[in-house]
Structure 1
Amino acid sequence: MQIELNKTFLIEDWIILSLILGFFLIGLLKKINSTRFLYLIRFYETIIYIKIYDKGHKGLKTNFFYFAVLFTLKTFGLSIYLLTNTIFNNLKGFYFFLLILISLISLASIRLFLLYVFSILFNYKEKFYKLIFASSTYYLQSSFLLFFSNLLLLFIFKSGIYQMYIMFALSFLYLITKQLLFFLKNIKDLKSFFFYIILYLCAFKIFPWILIFKGLSF
């Protein structure tokens, strides 16, 4: 079944279900830890959130973190799907979305595994855990922006191509700016392994996005 809500997209059932799942996951995060959720959505106080809830590797092994990762991957997957369909003007449906989602999960899994190996080899485990927690926090906050951008695109704007480009650009700009500010704030602690941070940024931040867009354009 397809619902034509604007001139840009035919909204299929699976897209509606994906958005409903997004609302469910947001509600679940709030239910699991309402205080943590309220700190999380204070975008202007992200550093406070990180200071409170960054518990090293233990901070990455909570139900809140697992469901947050699920929400982030799903939202980024749907956003990339909508964005690529407007760029290439080629609606490929649910299986194309699954391909994007599987690609994101695979890249994230490989990235985490390699980061873990590097952290052991160079004895920077705790610092890398801190980077992972902060990075995942900024990705999650950006996914909130993307989620509501998707809602506006699909249900509010009548021809949302340019609005979508602007909203997605702002979401990614927020992500990049927050990570850069975090890096600059902690540069004194990171100088001792600056080379490995450059390697981390190049290998695990930039290259995965190049792979995704190369694959999608192909």
Structure 2
Amino acid sequence: DAGGSGEGPAWTDLHTVVFPGGHCVIYRIPDGAGGLRVNWVLYTTPPEHLALPLDLRNPTSLPPGELSGELAGFARDLVAKHFPPYWAECVLRTPPAESFIQPIYDLEVPHFATGRLALAGDAATVARPHTGGGAVKALQDALVLERAWRAAEDWESAAAAYDADRTALGASIVELGRRFGQAQVVRTPDWSSLSEEGFAAWWRDQNQGSDRSSGYGGHALRPS
């Protein structure tokens, strides 16, 4: 357990560490042996002089063991400089050989259903992970398709109803993820200058135009 022992803050479901140009989420997962281990995901943009050895025009990733010394050093220096000591130790205990890079992609389609074809889940819409909604959206897609099929007299009617329900929502989720990515990674605020009211206003600005009834966005921050 990289962070479950020793002195440190009380663990909750998830902790977020923010820094100029990104943030990191840190949480515990089962270790497969009856205990827990720490998992973390760091969102940032590497500097241009540390080009990724990847063709980013197509979805791809850099698996464990392929991280260059320069990129590993960049990440470790960032953590050491900006993270509180306890959380820095949690992250820095991860050997570079076990770290990997996953570029962030998103996808939207003009229609969820057309002709004999219907798309659902990630095949229809891929939103940036900041929305935290990939699995939920896939379940919603399945439920809406099932209801449309039960209510329709033929496939054409079912497909049209499903498409009308999900296409606009899928596009709105992608747009929400893009706003989150811009605000939380690309153009982060001066975190140290934000008051509680300022942070709430920053959050509301990202959620402008979101339809809370969809289950995505539009939610106020809950007091801790």
Q: What is the TM-score normalised by the length of structure 1?
A: 0.42
Q: RCO (CA 8 Å, sep 6+): is it higher in 1 or 2?
A: 1
Higher Rg of the two aligned structures: 2
Q: What is the TM-score normalised by the length of structure 2?
A: 0.41
Going by fraction, where is strand more abundant, 1 or 2?
2
Going by fraction, where is helix more abundant, 1 or 2?
1
